[in-house]
Amino acid sequence: MTTLSELQVPRLGECRFDSPLGKYVAGRRTNEHYVDEDDRVLFDDTVELLRARQLPLDELPTFEPGGPRRRIFFEPGATRVGIVTCGGLCPGLNDVIRGLVLELHAHYAVDDVVGFRHGFAGLVPGLAPAPVALTPDTVATINEQGGTILGSSRGAQDPEVMADCLVDLGIDILFVIGGDGSMRGAAGLADVLLSRGLDVAVVGIPKTIDNDIPFIGQSFGFQTAYTTAAQAIQAARVEAQSAMNGVGLVRVMGRHSGFIACYASLSVHHADFVLVPEVPFALEGPGGFLACLHRAVIENGCAVVVVAEGAGQDFLYAEGSDPSGNPALGDIGRHLRRAITDHFAAAGTGLTLKYIDPGYTIRSVPASAHDSVYCVRLAQAAVHAGMAGRTKLVVGRRHNRFIHVPIAQAVSYRNQVAPDGDLWLSVLESTAQPAEMR
């Protein structure tokens, strides 16, 4: 069970400077649209969950709110900032970079911003091209492009070497935009900096199209990702409906968490089967997936199947791992394509199967307007946190409030689709899929 002490965010020291944003927040108090910096945001959001803790009010687990402070740690105009993007692509990376640069420039008079190239490799001399200067002009329209103008890479680097690099360049705040592996790297780097007694803040902005970071309601880019995936499901439905005994099979990303599969399917309300890593299923047998699919095609003339890449891994074999340390996955999409084809052939039923894998298309597109708004606001929250001397944290949004989450907590487990939760129930309600395929 999460405790109050686990949710405390480290601070570099006393906030000695008046914030240039102080005038905006001077008289503000907590209300339904704003959380005062002295207030805390509740971890739980129901009476029953709160009651079950049996704790006095000031011992309940709570988060530090995000947002501008009245006093800050770093001197406006005299602060040097670095930005790095790590791991796989995600819609909105450029929006976050741009949001950071513009917020630093416009509100904290920070014009000395460098972008490290290609992930943590950019903080290791000789491994990547030299850092580049980021100005309001150079980032002016980057939000219109997918990807990251800084480039990215997977994999950890030596935190001592990265710390040396930050010291050599005189960086005061490093913003790390990355997933769980990158956040572990950021935490390791923050530890080295703290242990050396250096006033250098490391602030994370969590990035994952899989939406698998816990404690925060939704990660940026996820909405764009499932909107793009939905177009593939739409296409699969058109193909399946137009064929005799048509099956549209769509494989989407989602290594351990099937949120893209669930949201994309719900958004078009077209999928007959949704297969996610969190809900095991049998392939064979009268109650298995193949028999259920066969029945659906006989009854309705066609069917659409959406499968997350991490589903059904117990049918597959894969070895090795990627540079981030993620175990390799077997290809469930191709496996299902073969299994469905064989099953229909064995039953003597005709089949027209169209297989669509929108994989990298999903994450390389520019952010939707919804995600762009979220990216800008996350970037602003990250700048406020960094300028206030918070370190070893990620910014996020929970219960519609911006919060600071210690990195240790943000990587302590994975956000997944709960088989007994309301999202999965919605998926079951919107498909022809039985609750169990065993």
Query: Which sequence positions are flagged as catalytic?
Result: 210
Residue 228 Cβ, how far from ligand F6P at the closest point, in Å?
12
Distance CA 81, CA 79 (A): 7
Query: Which two structure tokens, joined as six digits, stand for 14?
Result: 């006393």
Q: How many CB atoms lie within 10 A of CB 335?
A: 17
**Structure tokens, 358:** 């929108």
Shortest distance, position 225 Cβ to ligand F6P, whole Å: 8
| Least Å from the CB of residue 363 to ligand F6P | 6
CB 73 within 8 A of CB 389: yes
Query: What's the min distance (Å) between Cβ of 416 and ligand F6P?
Result: 13
Query: Could you tell me the smallest distance in angstroms from the CB atom of residue 396 to ligand F6P?
Result: 17
Q: Quick one: DSSP state of residue 143?
A: G
CB nearer to ligand F6P: pick between 253 and 262: 253
**Token pair of 72, please?**
């800050």
**Do the Cβ atoms of 79 and 172 come closer than 8 Å?**
yes
Edge-to-edge strand ranges of the sheet holding 302-308: 273-275, 302-308, 246-252, 352-356
Q: 3-state DSSP call for residue 184?
A: helix
Least distance to ligand F6P from the beta carbon of 41, Å?
Answer: 27
Q: With respect to ligand F6P, which residue has the nearer C-beta, 122 or 181?
A: 181
Q: Which is closer to ligand F6P, CB of 117 or CB of 343?
A: 117
Separation CA 397–CA 16 (nearest Å): 27
Query: Which residues does 433 contact at the CB level (< 8 Å), separation at least 6?
Result: 272, 273, 274, 292, 427
Closest CA to 45 of 72, 31, 27, 63: 63
Binding site for ligand F6P (CB under 6 A): 88, 179, 208-210, 253-255, 309, 322, 363
Q: Nearer to ligand F6P by C-beta: 79 or 153?
A: 153
Closest to ligand F6P by CB, 219 vs 391, is: 219
In the complex with ligand F6P, the residue whose CB is nearer, 210 or 278, is 210
Residue 304's alpha-carbon distances to 269, 275, 334, in angstroms, are 10, 11, 15
Q: In the complex, what is the shortest distance from the CB of residue 154 to ligand F6P, in angstroms, rounded to a whole number?
A: 6
- CB of 209 vs ligand F6P, minimal distance in Å: 5
- DSSP characters for 339-405? HHHHHHHHHT---EEEEE--HHHHHHSPPPHHHHHHHHHHHHHHHHHHHTTB-SEEEEEETTEEEEE
Q: What's the CA gap between 360 and 81, in Å, rounded?
A: 31
Residue 34 to residue 14: CA distance in whole angstroms: 24
Shortest approach of ligand F6P to residue 110 CB, angstroms? 31
The pairing of strands 393-398 and 302-308 is unpaired
How would you classify the pairing of strands 173-178 and 80-85? Answer: parallel
Residue (216 or 293) nearer to ligand F6P, CB: 216
- For residue 334, with 0-12 CB atoms within 10 Å meaning exposed, 13-18 middle and 19 or more buried, which class applies? middle
Give the span between the Cα atoms of 366 and 383, in whole angstroms. 22
Q: Which is nearer to ligand F6P, 284 or 331 (CB)?
A: 331
Contact yes or no for 365/258 (Cβ under 8 A): no
Q: Which is nearer to ligand F6P, 79 or 368 (CB)?
A: 368
> Which amino acid, 288?
G
